[in-house]
Each structure stands twice: as C-alpha cells, then as structure tokens.
Structure 1
C-alpha cells in the first residue's frame, strides 16, 4: 500500500512541476505578446485583471524574475518526481534515475515549454487573464528571492554606470511599434503612415552621417558660376538643389541654391543663394531634419571637428525614415 502511495506522491510532484513549467513558460511568452494599449484601455474602464497585468508591464523586471524563479522551481520538482518514481519502480538508483530523466525529457519539453509558448504566442491573453491571480500569488511567494536579485541587479547597474532608462526605452519603442501595427490592421493608419511612424522610432538614434552624401560624392559648383551654368549642371545631373563653394578652396561648400526657384525667378543668382547650415556628424538625423524644417532649409553641411565631410538633404533624410533607418544610397539632390 505504501508503495502505491509513494508512487502517487512522486507522480503528483512530477505533474505539479510540469504544470508550473507550462504556466510560467506560457505567461513569459504571453507577457511580451500582449498589447499594452489594450491593457491600458481595459484598466481605465475598470477591469481589475488588466490593472494587475499593467502593473507588471510597468515593472517588467519583476515579472521576468518571477517567471525565471518559477521555471527553476518547476524543473526541480520535475526532476524530484522523476527520480522518486524511477527508484520506486526499478528499485535502483544512479543510472536508473538518469535513464528515467532522459525518457521524460521529450514530454517535459513538449508539454512544459513548446506547447504553452505556441499557445500563448497566438493568444497571449488566454493564459495571462486566467492565471493573473495565481501569478500574483507566486510573485508574493518568490519575493524573498526575486527582491534581492533585483537589488543586486540595480547595484551592478549603478556600479557599471548603466543608464536606468534603457530598458524602459526599449520596451517603449516595442510597444509603440505594436500600436502602429495594430492601427494599420484596424484601418486607422495607412501602410505609408505606419511605415513612416515605425521608421521614426527606428531612426531616432541614428547619426546623420549615415545618411549624408560624402564629400567626394558632392557634385557642386564654385560660387562664381552663372545662372545658366547652374541650371545646366542641375539638368544634367537631375538635381533639385545645387551646392556652391569657394573657387579658391575646393571642398569648402558655403551656399546652395534651389533649382526650382532659379528656374522660375528673374532675381539675380546672388539673391537666391542660401547659406549652408552646418551640423555635427554625430547629431541625430531626426534632429537635423527638424532643424532644416524649422529654418526652411533643404540642405545642410555635415562637419567633423570643423571640417566638411558631406552634405545631407531633407528629402534623403525623409526617405531614410521610410526605410526604417537603414543607410540610403547616394542621394540625388544637392549631392
């Protein structure tokens, strides 16, 4: 009688560990798949479950620490249950326990890892909403373990000088990208609008030098060029702006002229020349784009340590945003 009770206890321990593995593996995947925007809307409408989940979304480190500890506990219980059952059935230790663990590994992988992750990847709210109260219980139970880990992590960040807002920035970008994707699927945003907004997030940290036309690829003219020479140069190279420089100092670009203005205006070329604004190579491309738009300019010079290394134009910067921040090929305007 005691043999069957001990075997049932071993099986119960094994199933408990398998169930915990299913739960924590699924909730971890669902946490990264669930829409934070929907949680915020539901929480503002008074949904208590969404409020509970949103609290974890604002502190993802604690959620992740709880799932990691939970998965370790689950694996430990699976190992104990397998070992006890193997010893009871085979009446042998050592190699028998290893073989028993090896035999149940595929079952644990499929039922405790693969299956919950696939289910929660497709329907993240299914397990999160049903298991939110249970997860809260585990969160409180594991707090004596997860809290010191969080404190140590925070201490290491301070020692290493790591930026505390990095994780929030990454999560914020991912959530905004998710919002744009859902807005496009719902018909609130067009495909072009969605691509542009996603590109803004992707390109926000890119330096303008990634989009500029290098100095050796700038097809400009000297400042003494005539109106006809500028128009012919623009027509031949299909330019919308032409940069102008010093005849005595090649590569020193100081002004630019818009071809459209030159073609339709009777004003002298000297009055249509615009000073070429300058930006440091390390400035963000969105910062440069905003500065050009604010000043009403369409071309800017890019410098490093006071030396002109290239130019960037407004159209090229906008195109780089649509291309999700990837470097552009050689621009076809003032360059």
Structure 2
C-alpha cells in the first residue's frame, strides 16, 4: 500500500470518527430535549422543533436509525484503523490499533460530543433532525426489521412498547417545575401558581372568618342600633340573624339598602325583604371546589357549617383569592392588628389569629393539621385551658401566654425561632481535654 492510499484511509478514518460523534451527540441531544419546551416551540412554528418532535414521536425508530448508523461507522472505523496499523507497525499493529482507536472513540466520538449535547441539546438536536429524518426514510426497511426483532424480545420479557409513560405532569411535578423555573418566572408569579396548586389541599375551614369574629345584623337589637350599624359598617355584605348566628335569616347587601337609608325610615321587615337567601358551605369543602361553586352560583359570600348544621363562620370569594395572590396589602405584618412586631424580634399575636395566616405572613411553619387558631394550638399543646400565663414550645417557636379571658387565650408573645446556645468556651475546652485523655 503506497503513501497516497494510506493517507486516504487515514482521512476516511477521521471522517468515520466524526460521523460517530454526530450519531452519539444526536442520540443524547434528542433524548435530552425538554419535551414541554419542544411542544411550545413546535406550536410557534420552529422548523427544527417540529422535525425533532416528529422524530421523537417514533422513539424506537429514531433510536434504531441512530444506533445502526453509529455501529456501522464504528465497526468500519475499527477495520480501517486495523489495516492502517498493520501497514505501519506490522502484526503488533492490531493491539496498538485497538488501544488507540478505543481511546480516540471514547474521547472524540462518545464522551465529548455527548457531554456537549447534554449541555446544549437544542443546538445539537435541531440541526441533526434535518439529517436523521431523510436517513430514517432511507434505512427504513432495516430499521423496521431491527425494531421487529426488538419488539419480539421485549414481548418475551413481558414488556410492551405501549406501556411507555406519557408526557403528563402530576401536581407535585408541576410544583417542582414552577419552583425550579429560576428567573424565568418572577417570585411573585411563582407564589401565585403554587397557591393555585395548593387550593385542593386547603378547605374553607382553614380560611373562614370564625363565628366569634363575624359582624352581622341581629334583628333582636333595637332599630336605632341596627341603623347605626348599617351606616357605619365597613363591610358590603352582612349576615342577618335573630339572637344567634345559627338562626340566620339571610344575607344583606348594603347596596340594596343604601337608598332607603337616605330617603325613608328603615324597618326590620324591610331588611328581611331585602335579604338574599343564605348560601351554606360544608366546612370540609376544598377551596378549588368552592371557587368553582362560587363561580357557578354567581356568589361571593357563604356561611360555613359543620356536619350538624351549626354555623362555624363565613367564607368569601376574596378569602379564596387571597390564597392565590396573597393579602391585599403590601406588609400584612405591619398593618394587621392580630400580629404586632416588637423591638426584640418577637411578635404579640392575637389568640384568634389563624395559624395559616401567621405562617404565610411571617414565613413560619407552625403546624396546620390540627387547630386553626393560635388559641387552639396553645390549648391543644397544653392539653388544657391555661388559667395563668405559661410558656410552651411549639415546633421551633417559644410561646408565652400573655392574656387569658373567658377561658380563651386572647394574646401571646411568640418568639420567631428557638436557637440552641453554643457551648461555653470553658465547657468546649474541657470536652476537648477529656477527648485527648
């Protein structure tokens, strides 16, 4: 073999190694594509994305054509490398060719191109799709034959290609995608998206206004008291009841009575006539379900009841929306009368404050699977109603009962977090001495 033929074989060997790198990078690039981003790009008209999506829809054929091409060029490269090595080094060239070609293919045709494709899958896969598509059509009979035998072997193992998992995200997987989106989604939007996903886990019992805090019209009050309440009310909708909120008559929208307050004397009978029929909500209703119920019934206000029909509180559409978008204030901790920050980094918190509200406002993790209010959390932890100011630990927080009235914790001082004190230098030194001994 003359020098010209040897040079031609060497050039052919380099070309085969380059083809091997192409097939290796194509395989990794195609398999590393973000399927959801790919679908989006294909819908927007990106040609490379459309071609790649079409190939990935037939994954078995795609892998078949890549592996056929890769194995063909690797085997041919091995044969040519052996011929060259024998011509240069004689019989010892077989071992030399095996070692050198293995190193070259490993570095230049496998690890490097696959790493590059894993880092930049779109830049590799989209251009490669323009080659793999026609190649698949050209080698289709061979690819089909290989896949036929492959499918038969899989069936013998009890595996069917139809069992492949579809590209669907579960709720928890979608939550992970949102949280890992980085700067692509603003933090505020992430909180809103996660809030929507959490609606199924939260019930109206978690976000309702407790019955002790409900402001309504008691028809047993005298007319002057009722009128003063109507004129000074800060709420647009008020429940109307007799003596006790369990005896509810209906819901009064102040807009329907505003004109009467200016033009003529209002009586209790007129108030009852203007009331809407009350809308009752079971306490265990999930927020996503209740949001749809509000929408279907064109309502914004409901009475929460327990399994016995007793009124537990009120829930509004605004309460559910706040679970998604957050409180309708910029700094709830600074404006809420229930949570008052102190100079020593502690907080004086009203006993009736909802545990979920405390967690969301201050970023804490007080337990929410039990009592709904701070008062309930304290009494459950103590397993009795405190009759004096006590101190207790709940999770990582220390709580000091500040005020008790009518067997209810009215206020408590809550420390943000209990920090373990580091050992004193003397104690640490003594411990070190003992260890040496």
TM-score by length of 2: 0.42
Cα RMSD of the aligned pairs, angstroms, is 6.3
Does the 8 Å CA contact 1:39/1:54 hold for their aligned counterparts? Answer: yes
**Cα 1:78–1:50 shift into 2, 3 Å:** closer
Q: Could you tell me whether the CA contact under 8 Å between 1:208 and 1:312 is conserved in 2?
A: no
More strand by share: 2
Instruction: Please name the residue that 2:26 is paired with.
Output: 23
C-alpha separation between the residues in 2 aligned to 1:120 and 1:245? 66
* 1:155, distance to aligned residue in structure 2 (A): 5.8
Are the equivalent residues in 2 in contact too, given 1:244–1:255 (CA < 8 A)?
A: yes
Q: Work out which of the residue numbers 265, 288, 291 in structure 1 matches 2:290.
A: 288
Give 3-state SS (helix, strand or coil) of 2:114's partner: helix
Other-structure match for 1:297: 299
Shift of 1:38: 6.4
Query: C-alpha separation between the residues in 2 aligned to 1:207 and 1:253?
Result: 30
Deviation at 1:152, TM superposition (A): 3.3
Q: How many residue pairs align between the two structures?
A: 287
> Are residues 315 and 153 of structure 1, via their aligned partners in 2, closer, same or farther at CA, if it must alter by over 3 Å?
farther
Unaligned runs of 5+ in 2: 178-184, 327-355, 359-372, 374-437
**Can you list the C-alpha shifts for 1:273-299, whole angstroms capped at 9, x where unaligned?**
5423436856571x5333312322113
Q: Distance in 1 between matches of 2:313 and 2:82?
A: 72
Q: What is the deviation of 1:41?
A: 7.2
**Bigger relative contact order, structure 1 or 2 (CA pairs below 8 A, ≥6 apart):** 1
Gap change, CA 1:295 and 1:134, over 3 Å in 2: same
Q: Report Cα offsets for 1:306-332 as digits up to 9, x if no partner.
A: 888886532344455558xxxxx649x
Identify if the C-alpha distance between structure 1 residues 12 and 205 changes in structure 2 by more than 3 Å, giving closer, same or farther. same
Q: Look up the SS of the partner of 2:299 in the other structure.
A: coil
Query: What per-residue deviation string (whole Å, max 9, x for no partner) do you get for residues 98-117 of structure 1?
Result: x9756754544664223345
Q: Helix, strand or coil for the counterpart of 1:278?
A: strand
- Are the counterparts in 1 of residues 203 and 285 from structure 2 also a CA contact under 8 Å? no
Q: Does 1:62 align with 2:63?
A: no
Structure 1 stretches of 5 or more lacking a match?
Answer: 158-163, 178-190, 324-328
Which structure has the larger Rg? 2
Residues 314, 248 of structure 1: CA spacing in aligned structure 2 closer, same or farther, 3 A cutoff? closer
Which residue does 1:152 correspond to in 2?
159
Q: TM-score scaled by structure 1?
A: 0.51
8 Å CA contact 1:280, 1:302 repeated in 2: yes
How far did residue 21 of structure 1 move?
1.3
2:398 corresponds in structure 1 to none
Residue 330 and residue 135 in structure 1: after superposition, are their counterparts in 2 closer, same or farther (change >3 A)?
Answer: farther
